[in-house]
Amino acid sequence: MDHILQVIQNKLICSICRNCFVDPITINCGHSFCRPCFNLNWLNRSVLAHCSECQEAIQEEDFKTNVTLKQIVLIVRKASLWQFLHSVGNECMIHMEAKQIFCEEQRSLLCTQCSTSQEHGAHRHGSAEEAAEQLREKLLEIMGFLWEKYCLNDRNLKVETATIRSWETYVISKGSAVRGVYKNLPSYFYLEKDYYLEKLTKEANMISGQLRDNGARMIEKRELLIEMYTEMKEMCHKPDVEMLLDFGNILFRGELLCIYTPQPLKPELTVESITWLIETFNFFKVNITLQHRSTPDHVFLQGDLINLRVGCGSQGAPYTSPLAECFYHWDAQTFTTGRHYWEIAVGDTCDWALGVSCNDWVQENVHLHKAFYLLGCAETDMHHKVFTTSPHLLQYVPRPTGRVGIFLDYEGRSVTFVNVAKRTLICRIDFCSFSSHLRPILCCSHF
């Protein structure tokens, strides 16, 4: 009997941990592993993984438990536990009876007579077999929660890391935009410019510190989750009796670690009104007529975070179809020189993009990656994102509402966007590669 049991056990060994399977999964090539071992062995799922047994590519990420294999493992464990419980070394020294009862309070094995004694009578008892099975299932349940938290934390960390890089680029561009805007204002506003830049630098440094601290918390959380997950995996692999006697407060610590997960920050700079900003731009104000025209499909990408596809049907009904967009733009007027300013009402909506397009490149279908200089707003995951195209850059400012002003400086190769009601600078795109004809453009899904 012992030999047969040993032979079966040898067929139920995970090739990673060299222990009997725990929560076994079978991957696409047919090989099986413990789920915890599989998860820990392929932490970076973005890299193409291969089976450690046959080197075949792993095609899925979420494998179901192999229920049949799990039941076979359970039968073998029960047989091994029965052998231990009925061995000579597990007899009660007082009653010379096998200790098969598990006392939860004292975490010890008792014989039937000891479990009903005055010392243990008031304690909670159960069979060692049931207690071991319940404990292992509870460990696996918490490990499932821990793994979900790990995956969530990993996604959050990637977002936060990208935000830190994007934030650093944004702060540099914001400072450049402020300096560029003040060049259009009378020189006696230099003190206001210095104040604006000083405040921007202080606030940007403070937010940078908050982002780095939050990223550090996520890294620490990741290490704690992996450490606890590994500890629970090792506990599950212990023989039943050893697991029952040694698990301590591991369940409590695992549940405690699942309570809180650091979330990505959503940094946003305080906006300051700029004296004479709108009044100065109004010297260059032009009247434009909104006309509707269907155009070929265009997609405005904001880094890896936004794929903005917004449009209007022929009757003006909004749609979010991925097949095409429909732009409202000003067909009668193009700009080939000079400075020009106009305003567009966006109301209290998201999913719009406005600015200028290089008309020649659009018509010739060339250089489309730099044919649009736009400010866009999109709603993603219950939050809004403000961004520019050419270059694709997030703008960490409050969502513009009401009227947005666009100031085009053709010779200066720049496009400036302002919040008209608040008299604040939203952003400025410098070093534009304009074609000969520029056309005001609006893309929306709410008209």
| Whether the predicted pLDDT of 322 surpasses 50 | no
The rounded distance, in Å, linking the Cα atoms of 270 and 385 is: 16
**Is the separation of the CB atoms in 97 and 112 below 8 Å?**
yes
| Whether the predicted pLDDT of 394 surpasses 70 | yes
Q: Please tell me the pTM assigned to this model.
A: 0.82
pLDDT in tens, 213-238: 999 999 999 999 999 999 999 999 99
pLDDT in tens, 370-380: 778 999 888 77
User: Which comes out higher in pLDDT, residue 141 or 322?
Assistant: 141
Q: Is residue 80 included in any domain, yes or no?
A: yes
| Whether the predicted pLDDT of 45 surpasses 70 | no
Q: Are residues 214 and 66 in the same domain?
A: no
Percent of the chain with pLDDT over 70: 83
Q: Are residues 247 and 293 in the same domain?
A: no
Closest Cα partner for 357 from 399, 446, 278, 296?
Answer: 296
Last residue of some domain: 68, 101, 128? Answer: 128
Helix (H/G/I), strand (E/B), else coil: 115: helix
Q: Is residue 269 included in any domain, yes or no?
A: no
pLDDT in tens, 93-120: 888 888 888 988 888 888 888 878 877 7
Closest Cα partner for 297 from 328, 323, 329, 316?
Answer: 323
Q: Is residue 95 included in any domain, yes or no?
A: yes
- Please give the mean pLDDT across all residues of the chain: 83
Q: Are residues 94 and 197 in the same domain?
A: no
What integer pLDDT is reported at residue 326 of this predicted model?
45
| Whether the predicted pLDDT of 158 surpasses 60 | yes
Q: Are residues 119 and 141 in the same domain?
A: no
Q: Are residues 148 and 240 in the same domain?
A: yes
Q: Is residue 230 included in any domain, yes or no?
A: yes
| Whether the predicted pLDDT of 311 surpasses 70 | no
User: Which comes out higher in pLDDT, residue 441 or 60?
Assistant: 441
Task: Give me the number of domains the chain comprises.
Answer: 3
Q: Are residues 240 and 287 in the same domain?
A: no
| Whether the predicted pLDDT of 447 surpasses 70 | no
Q: Name the DSSP letter for residue 273.
A: B
Q: What average pLDDT score do residues 38-43 get?
A: 86
Domain with 107 in it: 2-128
Return the CATH number at 21.
Answer: 3.30.40.10
Return the CATH number at 385.
Answer: 2.60.120.920
Q: Are residues 184 and 64 in the same domain?
A: no
